[in-house]
Amino acid sequence: MREPRLAIIGGTGLGTRLRECLDPAGVEQHEIETPFGLPSDLITTGRLAELEVALLARHGDSHQYNPTNVPYRANMFALKALGCTHVVASGATGSLSETISPGDLVSCDQLIDRTIHRPRTFYEHAAVHVELADPCCPVLRAWLEISAASSETNFHGSGTYLCMEGPAFSTRAESNMHRLAGADLVGMTAMPEARLAREAELAYALLALPTDWDCWRTSSEDSILDNVLANLQKASDAALDLLQRACMHPESLAGTQSPAHRALDKAVFTDPATISPDERRRLAPLWGRVLQS
């Protein structure tokens, strides 16, 4: 198994702060054209502690992409083309659970997709059906959890994230409905991101940064926004510390293959002989391994 390269997708609250933590020697920026357009930002590569990483700002360098318009397919395609094998994505969320407080960190294990306006697959001209029962990689989740054990962060090793379309936040009735659906967190960016990661055979983990209680829980606080920003800062600091700790131990990733790395083994239902040469070439970084075997 080759040395892993970790992609870190920074959402609201993390973004460019990660770049400041890279070893200055060898830092490069990449503009990668994909069949789905340009990614949301230049991709910065370098070394974080002991691991080669690629950093991408999900919403762009000036937060110009709202959750619906993030170029999710271009982002994942570009990371795969750069040789990334694993992805840790962060994102601000609202908490729907009494046991998850604003400022905590949550490594999610399950996702509920309630988005309606976003492309969900790379494979528009073939029938490709990946398994997604466990959308977040158990290897990556264990790697993060081990590192969290040595920190003072209030870390949750599992949680269900409901991805809504946005960009407006929930009504109170919707927030309560999300709780009834079994969600612990609500956000706007994990889907189709996790789904596309699986189609690209990228191991994916979601590090949620809860900033507030959403609106199911009424608040008497004078300035909700001030508290949200303070909690976002707290969770971002904790996420930054956790990622740096985890990147000190790349051997955990190098020694265990993620199930996601062979997600396409039996997923391409279309007879390969009927897939055009142009389509094979267009998506070669994604399915080249299985179509050549």
Q: In this prediction, what percent of the chain has a pLDDT beyond 70?
A: 96
Pairing mode of beta strands 110-114, 160-164: parallel
Mean pLDDT of 136-155: 94
Closest CA to 197 of 46, 45, 13, 7: 7
- CB 115 within 8 Å of CB 191: yes
Domain ranges of the chain: 5-292
pLDDT confidence band for 15 (50 / 70 / 90): low
Mean pLDDT of 259-264: 97
> How many CB atoms neighbour CB 188 within 10 A?
25
Query: Out of 212, 222, 226, 241, which one is annotated catalytic?
Result: 212
| pLDDT tens, residue by residue, 106-135 | 999 999 999 999 999 999 999 999 999 999
Catalytic site includes residue 212: yes
pLDDT above 70: residue 64: yes
- pLDDT value of residue 220: 58
DSSP states of the chain: -PPPEEEEEE-TTTGGGGGGGS-STT-EEE---BTTB--SSPEEEEEETTEEEEEEETTTTTT---TTTS-HHHHHHHHHHTT--EEEEEEEEEE--TTS-TT-EEE--EEEEE--SS---S-TTS-B----SS-S-HHHHHHHHHHHTTS-S-EES--EEEEE--SS---HHHHHHHHHTT-SEEESSHHHHHHHHHHTT-EEEEEEEEEE-TTTS----S-HHHHHHHHHHHHHHHHHHHHHHHTT-THHHHTS--GGGGTTTTTB-S-GGGS-HHHHHHTHHHHHHHHH-
pLDDT above 70: residue 27: yes
- pLDDT value of residue 196: 99
pLDDT confidence band for 20 (50 / 70 / 90): confident
Mean pLDDT of 50-70: 95
Query: Out of 104, 109, 113, 214, which one is annotated catalytic?
Result: 214
- CB 112 within 8 Å of CB 183: yes
Task: Report the chain's mean pLDDT, rounded to a whole number.
Answer: 93
| pLDDT tens, residue by residue, 158-183 | 999 999 999 999 999 999 999 999 99
Least confident of 24-33, 34-43, 251-260, 282-291: 251-260
Domain spanning 5-292: CATH superfamily: Nucleoside phosphorylase domain (3.40.50.1580)
- pLDDT value of residue 169: 92
- pLDDT value of residue 1: 47
Least confident of 64-68, 155-159, 288-292: 288-292
| pLDDT tens, residue by residue, 193-226 | 999 999 999 999 999 999 999 999 987 555 567 7
Mean pLDDT of 17-30: 90
CB neighbour list of residue 64: distance below 8 Å, 6 or more residues apart: none
Catalytic site includes residue 23: no
